[in-house]
Chains A and B, each alone.
Chain A
Amino acid sequence: KQEVTQIPAALSVPEGENLVLNCSFTDSAIYNLQWFRQDPGKGLTSLLLIQSSQREQTSGRLNASLDKSSGRSTLYIAASQPGDSATYLCAVRGQGSSNTGKLIFGQGTTLQVKP
């Protein structure tokens, strides 16, 4: 059974720092991995989607990497800003669920960027 873990559960950094959020998964047979952002009381906004054949994806100050063999993904945020404060969720879609769209979510990392 696929399990997704995110460490740390919470992170507080001063503005301007570069930071890394971690996501690990137990079954390397994945279809893709998706990083989401969730603001308090809001829905999920998709940030980056990495297919199983890809090693990384970049969008602006965000870079996500994927290492299937070790069951790990990282989300790198460069030059953090207070507006980056949110909960970040990673979710894995298994190869076996490629026809269902079912995602297995981690518990999330709540990030606070202090001015």
Chain B
Amino acid sequence: DADVTQTPRNRITKTGKRIMLECSQTKGHDRMYWYRQDPGLGLQLIYYSFDVKDINKGEISDGYSVSRQAQAKFSLSLESAIPNQTALYFCATSDPGTEDTGELFFGEGSRLTVL
């Protein structure tokens, strides 16, 4: 089983619909992230969380919200999806620990298409 699991893996929806992407991890990491990947643009950070009570905006947070339900769970919501939110979404984790290498571990991605 993957250490970082995203659901759904693929979703097609219509403009204006509310969508939730979920991420769960078994790595025991405190830090979790949501990134978005668009063709030719690399990955951009949407939101990140250091623990259950800590949520921070990334580069492109407009139109998105997140919830950190537990250490192991971090969900991303699109309250009213629009076509330019069509992208591949990645959840990632990291663990500063006593020696913070800064390494991130990614899930397999959730492909969202907004019609």
Contact = CB atoms under 8 A, between A and B. Distances in A.
A101 B48 contact: yes
Contacts of B64: none
Q: What is the interface of chain B mostly: helix, strand, loop, or mixed?
A: strand
B101 A106 contact: no
Contacts, number: 62
Nearest to B44: A105
B50 to A, nearest CB: 8
A75 interface: no
A91 B43 CA distance: 9
Contact of A107 (B31, B42, B56, B106): B42
A46 interface: yes
A100 to B, nearest CB: 6
B42 A105 contact: yes
Given A42-B109, A43-B90, A44-B90, A102 B48 contact: yes
A65 B57 CA distance: 32
A43 B106 contact: yes
Interface in A55-108: 89, 91, 93, 98, 100-103, 105-108
B58 interface: yes
A93 B40 CA distance: 20
A25 to B, nearest CB: 12
A100 B33 CA distance: 10
